[in-house]
Amino acid sequence: MEILFVSHKFPPSVGGMEKQSFELVNGMKQFATVHSIVYSGQESRAVFFFSLERRILETLRKFPSISVIHFNDALIASFCLRHKSYNHLFRAVTVHGLDVVFPSAIYQKFILPAFNRFDLIIAVSQACASACIARGIAPEKVAVIPNGADHSLLNTKQNENFHETFRQEYGIDLDGKTILTALGRPVKRKGFSWFIQHVLPQLKGNFVFLLIGPFEKTRSWSDRLFYCLPEIVRSKVELFLGYPSDENRIRNLLHRKTDSKVFHLGKLSHEGLHQVLAATDAFVMPNIRVAGDMEGFGLVCLEASLCGAWVFASRIDGIPDAVHHSKNGTLINPGNAPDWAAALNAFISDPAGFNSQSQTARTYTAENFGWTKMVECYLKFFQDLNSGQKG
């Protein structure tokens, strides 16, 4: 079987979708003949998108045995819906969450229902699949394949001098403290500002809360100008571009708390991130409901679990597909500050009591989530397509 993968989310860009796309394309090479057209950043995105049909046809002429074409998100799939020259191929697309629920009337009414032209819609979570079906995509065309996780994280070891080097670099003393960590872009659905404002004041004991991810410590003029846009326009641009919609709120909360236990470390290298996760006692993912947005999965929860942290996450969207309650973490109702505080206070009062659970969770995550396992699931669905007859 020969497969053509088409993706605009691919390294050197970084992110969950880029990682998933990279692992899928490269992992599939063990099982099939793979060709790919991916955005590498060497040209503008506009040039990449508008040259896609030509590049796809050139690839098909060179490799006529290609029978399946896969688009790695709904944006690139939407753009390629207008292509008429390769309808003889089986066409599959992976959807990740926001690309299903994006709040555009035109997209919801005219574009997303047209996905029924595809032969297979792969959702990264059950919540994502349900959102597809609710929007008119035929249930028999929808399959769920959860993302994988990098098993090399099982080998992450904390540097013996980590606390000292961390103190020297950030001026933060971790000795004797329970370390709570959150990771991600400062967008509203992640719930970071909500957590700082409503949950942290209720937490007791000796702890620190570390935030990791892209973050500007001072507000830029471009951001000030952006917020001059009408809200109806700004909100859609925020979602479409992944704009840091929670950054100002987080910044203001951090500035108010001179003796705070919360610190934003900014964006870290892979090695730096893994060292912090290895030192972390509890990883938190306090997502909240945001209209028109969705957490398709919870990949960072799996990474934290593999590094040995116990995970506390909101029971919302696709997160429960990654965090299985009491197996590799604790699920808490989103937006319920008392429940969050109670769960975390119990942990902070006795983090050592969770050590055995964290190790069991690590094993559970490794056994149930892996990139090879994900690739094998894709392969099975592609083989099923290939054995059928193109309608």
Q: Does residue 4 come out as left (phi exceeding 0), alpha (psi in the -120 to 50 range) or beta?
A: beta
Confidence of residue 60 (pLDDT cuts 50, 70, 90): very high
| pLDDT mean over 201-222 | 93
Give span(s): CATH 3.40.50.2000, the chain: 2-148+370-387, 151-368
Residue 246 CA to its chain's centroid (Å): 17
Residue 321 CA to its chain's centroid (Å): 12
| Residue 187, both tokens | 């967008």
The percent of the chain in helix, strand and coil, each rounded to the nearest 5, is: 50, 15, 35
- The per-residue pLDDT for 258 is 52
Q: Report yes or no: 92 and 380 within 8 Å, Cβ to Cβ.
A: no
* Domain 2-148+370-387: CATH class, spelled out: alpha beta
Nearest one of 236, 213, 356, 230 to 285, comparing CA atoms? 213
What is the rounded distance in angstroms from the CA atom of residue 185 to the CA atom of residue 357?
28
- Indicate the average pLDDT of the chain: 93
- The per-residue pLDDT for 238 is 83
| pLDDT mean over 116-133 | 97
- The per-residue pLDDT for 241 is 79
| pLDDT mean over 337-346 | 98
- The per-residue pLDDT for 299 is 94
Beta-carbon contacts of residue 384 (< 8 Å; ≥ 6 apart)? none
**Which DSSP string do the residues of 2-62 spell out, in sequence order?**
EEEEEES--TTS-SHHHHHHHHHHHHHTTTSEEEEEE--SSS-HHHHHHTHHHHHHHHHHH
Burial class (CB in 10 A: 0-12, 13-18, 19+), 161: exposed
| pLDDT mean over 269-279 | 94
| pLDDT mean over 11-32 | 86
What is the rounded distance in angstroms from the CA atom of residue 170 to the CA atom of residue 264?
10
| Residue 210, both tokens | 């570390």
| pLDDT mean over 268-280 | 94
Nearest one of 384, 377, 375, 296 to 119, comparing CA atoms? 384
What is the rounded distance in angstroms from the CA atom of residue 205 to the CA atom of residue 342?
12
Nearest one of 43, 106, 15 to 299, comparing CA atoms? 15
- The per-residue pLDDT for 12 is 56
What is the rounded distance in angstroms from the CA atom of residue 261 to the CA atom of residue 51?
50
Beta-carbon contacts of residue 15 (< 8 Å; ≥ 6 apart)? 9
Is residue 389 pLDDT above 90, yes or no? Answer: no
Share of the chain above pLDDT 90, in %: 81
Top-confidence residue, 259 or 373:
373
Is residue 290 pLDDT above 70, yes or no? Answer: yes
SS3 annotation, 202-267: HCCCCEEEEEECCCCCCCCHHHHHHCCCCHHHHHHHHHHHCCCCCHHHHHHHHHHCCCCCEEECCC
Nearest one of 3, 81, 86, 72 to 39, comparing CA atoms? 72
Give the three-state DSSP class for 311.
strand
Is residue 344 pLDDT above 90, yes or no? Answer: yes
| pLDDT mean over 310-332 | 98
Q: Report yes or no: 348 and 178 within 8 Å, Cβ to Cβ.
A: yes
Q: Report yes or no: 173 and 167 within 8 Å, Cβ to Cβ.
A: yes
> Is domain 151-368 classified as CATH 3.40.50.2000?
yes
- The per-residue pLDDT for 257 is 66
Task: Express each pLDDT in 346-369 by its tens digit.
Answer: 999 998 888 888 999 999 999 999
Is residue 391 pLDDT above 60, yes or no? Answer: no
| pLDDT mean over 74-80 | 94
What is the rounded distance in angstroms from the CA atom of residue 249 to the CA atom of residue 150?
32
Task: Express each pLDDT in 80-118 by its tens digit.
Answer: 999 999 999 999 999 999 999 999 999 999 999 999 999
Is residue 14 pLDDT above 80, yes or no? Answer: no
Is residue 215 pLDDT above 80, yes or no? Answer: yes
Is residue 243 pLDDT above 70, yes or no? Answer: yes
